[in-house]
Chain A
Amino acid sequence: METRIVPQTEMAAFVGELMKTARVMAPVRRDGVGYFEWLESADQLDATCVVPRSSPKAALLPRCETLFGWRLEKGEQRIVPPPEPIPQILFGLHPCDVRAIATLDAVFASDPSPDRLYLARRAVTTVIGRGSLADPATAFFRELGVDPMDNGGCDLFLAPLDPDRHVLEIISDKGRALLPACERFPKADDRALALLADLRKSSAAKTEANPGLEQLAAKLAGMFESDLWSRIHEHCAGCGVCAFLCPTCHCFDIQEEQRGDRGARVRVWDTCQFGLFTRHASGHNPRTSQKERLRQRIMHKFSYGIEKFKVPFCVGCGRCVGCCPANNDLRAILRTIRETPSE
């Protein structure tokens, strides 16, 4: 694998080069808070942000996506196909966010109905991960077996050596396509690579090698009627912060938008935390309270997801932990589940 050394001071210039080839989503900082956003200029980049508050899923599953449009022409309805996706680079993703993309891939590529729009966008997406030597206080990806120095799933990977330097690993064909933007950097020497190998070793040692997720899924499968759910939902406010910031939550609603003689069918982010999510056309709602809704969230992430796709629908990024208005800590919920005696 080809490797280069990228000085921290050159990061914005690197992104500037990348922006010549595709649109780039990267961490920016506004009022102290990190967000993943489409860059307008390279100097917006915040190269210190580890896990930005908004997740990069918006690049693959936009908050609002046109499925198709229509317009009336001389009384005839014409269908307008959605715009072709344009090449895009996701820059500076923490390995947990890269793992989240693998989760989305599993869902949207699955038979019998692979999602054409998602896959088209995914095909023109290049993922540049960035490792991290310090874990955010609210993160728990190591518990779920995600190593923050792992380059799996990336096309390029920036592995930190120290606060001033990263080793740039050029991994896939998509990554190699960006070689012209990488060639300005010197090749990594053996000393740097040896240091990186050491850092990787100690990071792997701190990461749970066997997170026991199948056991968790099996246990949860028997906990549908547990008393636990009556307790943990009480202070949940029922908002969508956890789901909308989550890099793996992918549920959507489909709505019709119309303006005059034209319109579109769009899909928009939705969440099992909203009462409207399961309300039937008849008015009946099978999930009447936050108890059923929060249970669904936990079950989907740690039981159904694992059963069906062999991966948890949670990567331990900690966004929901840090931003929950009621501090309903997912880590604590998982602990309680693990400590609850099996029935």
Chain B
Amino acid sequence: MTERADLRTIAAKLLADGTVDVLIGWQPGSSPLSAAPLILHAGSAGSEPGQAGPEALVFDARCAMNLVNLLHKFKGKKVAIVVKGCDARALAGLVQERQFDRNDLVVLGAPCAGVISPRALARALNSDSPDSATLKNDRIHAVCGGVETVVPLSDALDPGCRRCAMRNPQIADWLVADPVAQTDASEPAENVEEAWRMTRAERWRKFRQEMARCILCHACRQVCPACYCGECFADQSRPRLAGRTDDPADAMFFHLLRWTHLAGRCTGCGACERACPMGVDLRLYNDFLREFARTEYGYEAGADAQAPPLIGGFKPDDPNRFTL
């Protein structure tokens, strides 16, 4: 049973009455239109100088990072976590993969109409370093190089958010805001359709161009809730598996292998693309994976925490058209 609660009140209560050891949420960030994770420990929340307490928690379009990624640091503890619809899918995936016991988690669901993507914001403002930017009534008021610009929030939203079909978290113990209207995402993703319309040579050129931008900083992997291997293949050094040169082949190898591991597991939260400093179009390839899982196996990653994972299940009527 999901009940409506005020974010700060419920957070303070959960920490005070010993229900959880740790609470993970968002606080306003330090750069324009950003939010930062806020990690509160029971017993010490707000007690250190300069350290915020539950009253600092916020949820709005700035809260872009997928906090489920941080859960891995608190294994074995009782944790309350604020999740958007997409984060909740990632969390469901981890429960499916037996990474967390649902009973150890208190899920504070934050219905979400979309989050700001730094990439979309930079495109809308033609700048990634506004002097200031604020969000008021679904409009972004930014000052870039002394010139004021106003753009609709929708222009700065992550493209994935525009067609998100799970805006209201599917698994939540509490809802910290009123549910928002869902969109119908039965149509295939536009970016994937567009890529399929390209010739093979055009697709290869696009892929090569995207991969040539990658500097192998591993931000995509590090912010991904589904990337939790104790040792990533890219970090194996005895013997070394992945190269780190500027030959695009090394970036291709890293990303292709990572995508192989994410097939049927990526929930399309977009955290990787928002974290990428080089503007690599990671969403396109993630959407490919999700589209494949959907059309070939009727599987939506993270939609059902009780279901077996796609890779861990078998249906007699699987088409088997896609074999690696």
CB distance from A293 to the nearest CB of B (A): 12
CB distance from A327 to the nearest CB of B (A): 4
B51 near A33 (CB under 8 angstroms)? no
In chain A, what residue has the closest Cβ to B38? A235
CB distance from A322 to the nearest CB of B (A): 5
For B128, list chain A residues within 8 Å (CB): 32-34, 53, 322
Mask of A177-195 contacts with B, CB within 8 angstroms, 1/0: 0000000000000000000
* Chain B CB within 8 A of A276 CB: yes
Known contacts: A53-B128, A239-B275, A339-B50. The answer to whether A269 contacts B73 by CB under 8 A is no
Mask of B236-255 contacts with A, CB within 8 angstroms, 1/0: 01101001111100000000
Known contacts: A29-B126, A239-B218, A240-B219. The answer to whether A327 contacts B48 by CB under 8 A is no
Interface centre among B30, B37, B274 (most CB of A within 10 A): B30
User: Which residues of chain A (206-249) have a CB below 8 Å from chain B?
Assistant: 231, 234-235, 237-241, 243-245
Give the number of chain B interface residues (Cβ < 8 Å). Answer: 55
Interchain CA distance A332-B215 in the complex, whole Å: 27
CB distance from B218 to the nearest CB of A (A): 5
Known contacts: A32-B127, A336-B50. The answer to whether A274 contacts B218 by CB under 8 A is yes
Known contacts: A48-B145, A241-B219. The answer to whether A329 contacts B237 by CB under 8 A is no
B31 near A138 (CB under 8 angstroms)? yes
User: Which residues of chain B (115-140) have a CB below 8 Å from chain A?
Assistant: 119, 121-132
Interchain CA distance A280-B277 in the complex, whole Å: 29
A235 near B129 (CB under 8 angstroms)? no
Interface centre among B73, B123, B217, B271 (most CB of A within 10 A): B217
B35 near A327 (CB under 8 angstroms)? yes
Mask of A262-274 contacts with B, CB within 8 angstroms, 1/0: 0000101110001
* Chain B CB within 8 A of A7 CB: no
* Chain A CB within 8 A of B34 CB: yes
In chain B, what residue has the closest Cβ to A238? B222
* Chain B CB within 8 A of A174 CB: no
B31 near A239 (CB under 8 angstroms)? no
A235 near B132 (CB under 8 angstroms)? no
Partner of A137, one of B121, B126, B131, B244: B131
CB distance from B115 to the nearest CB of A (A): 13
Partner of A50, one of B35, B129, B243, B278: B129
For A283, list chain B residues within 8 Å (CB): 238
Mask of A324-339 contacts with B, CB within 8 angstroms, 1/0: 0111110110011001
* Chain A CB within 8 A of B179 CB: no
CB distance from B34 to the nearest CB of A (A): 5
Partner of A327, one of B29, B70, B124, B244: B29
A325 near B275 (CB under 8 angstroms)? yes
A327 near B275 (CB under 8 angstroms)? no
Mask of A6-24 contacts with B, CB within 8 angstroms, 1/0: 0000000000000000000
CB distance from B26 to the nearest CB of A (A): 10
A32 near B36 (CB under 8 angstroms)? no
* Chain A CB within 8 A of B108 CB: no
A269 near B215 (CB under 8 angstroms)? yes
Give the number of chain A interface residues (Cβ < 8 Å). Answer: 56
* Chain A CB within 8 A of B319 CB: no
CB distance from A343 to the nearest CB of B (A): 15
User: Which residues of chain A (15-53) have a CB below 8 Å from chain B?
Assistant: 29-35, 48, 50-51, 53
Interchain CA distance A134-B132 in the complex, whole Å: 12
Partner of A325, one of B39, B50, B65: B65
A321 near B31 (CB under 8 angstroms)? yes
For A270, list chain B residues within 8 Å (CB): 244
B31 near A257 (CB under 8 angstroms)? no
Known contacts: A235-B39, A241-B277. The answer to whether A255 contacts B215 by CB under 8 A is no
A329 near B36 (CB under 8 angstroms)? yes
* Chain A CB within 8 A of B170 CB: no
* Chain B CB within 8 A of A175 CB: no
Interface centre among B122, B216, B244 (most CB of A within 10 A): B244
* Chain B CB within 8 A of A253 CB: yes
For A35, list chain B residues within 8 Å (CB): 278
* Chain B CB within 8 A of A63 CB: yes
Interchain CA distance A134-B70 in the complex, whole Å: 36
CB distance from B76 to the nearest CB of A (A): 15
* Chain B CB within 8 A of A114 CB: no
* Chain B CB within 8 A of A72 CB: no
B235 near A276 (CB under 8 angstroms)? yes
CB distance from A48 to the nearest CB of B (A): 6
Interchain CA distance A134-B130 in the complex, whole Å: 11
* Chain B CB within 8 A of A64 CB: yes
User: Which residues of chain A (46-66) have a CB below 8 Å from chain B?
Assistant: 48, 50-51, 53-54, 62-64
A240 near B217 (CB under 8 angstroms)? yes
Interchain CA distance A280-B51 in the complex, whole Å: 36
Residues of A within 8 A of B (CB): 29-35, 48, 50-51, 53-54, 62-64, 134, 136-138, 231, 234-235, 237-241, 243-245, 253, 255, 257, 266, 268-270, 274-276, 279, 281, 283, 321-323, 325-329, 331-332, 335-336, 339
